[in-house]
Amino acid sequence: MDKSRAPIRSFGYARVSTVGQTLEAQLEELQAAGCTIVFREKVSGAKADRKELMKLLSTLGPGDELVVTRIDRLARSTFDMFAIVKRIVDAGARFRSLAQPWADTDDSTGRLMLAILGGLADVERDLIKTRTA
């Protein structure tokens, strides 16, 4: 997709892990970024089969974009992130993160950075599990 062209549709995805957390800050950021529809859910990012994310991925078409506030909202597992980003790209859509502007599937540098940081998110998740155990 040509970066100078506006996406056909801009979808947001907001996620928190626990019932006590709120989606409000993410929703405000996504709406300010131009997302016309925001899919939201309260479920762990470690869970691959998230209902709202699956609905969003099946909605994407050529020229659309999926926007998150941070990449860890999309996935906590490197393998899950790769699978999700592949589905986005295969649909002809674009992925981008507001907090990490370099995380953009429209260029090779963005795809490389997603791979590196996806690995770091996976390590962080393991550290969190170890500390809480």
Q: What does 69-121 look like in DSSP terms, one character per residue?
A: SSGGGT-SSHHHHHHHHHHHHHTT-EEEESS-TT-BTTSHHHHHHHHHHHHHH
Residue among 4, 10, 17, 97 flagged as catalytic: 17
Judged against a pLDDT cut of 70, whether residue 5 lies above it is answered with no
pLDDT in tens, 85-121: 889 989 999 999 999 888 788 888 877 777 776 677 6
Which of the pair, 133 or 53, is modelled with greater confidence? 53
**Which residues 6+ apart lie within 8 Å of 15 measured at CB?**
23, 26, 40, 41, 42, 43, 45, 50, 52, 53, 73, 74
List C-alpha distances in Å: 45 to 15, 19, 94, 125: 8, 13, 20, 10
Judged against a pLDDT cut of 60, whether residue 60 lies above it is answered with yes
Q: What is the distance between the terminal CA atoms of the chain, rounded to a whole angstrom?
A: 44
pLDDT value, residue 79: 77
Mark whether 77 is an active-site residue.
no
pLDDT in tens, 6-44: 668 999 999 998 777 899 999 999 999 999 999 999 888
pLDDT in tens, 68-85: 999 889 887 777 888 888
Question: Average pLDDT for residues 43-69, to the nearest whole number?
Answer: 91
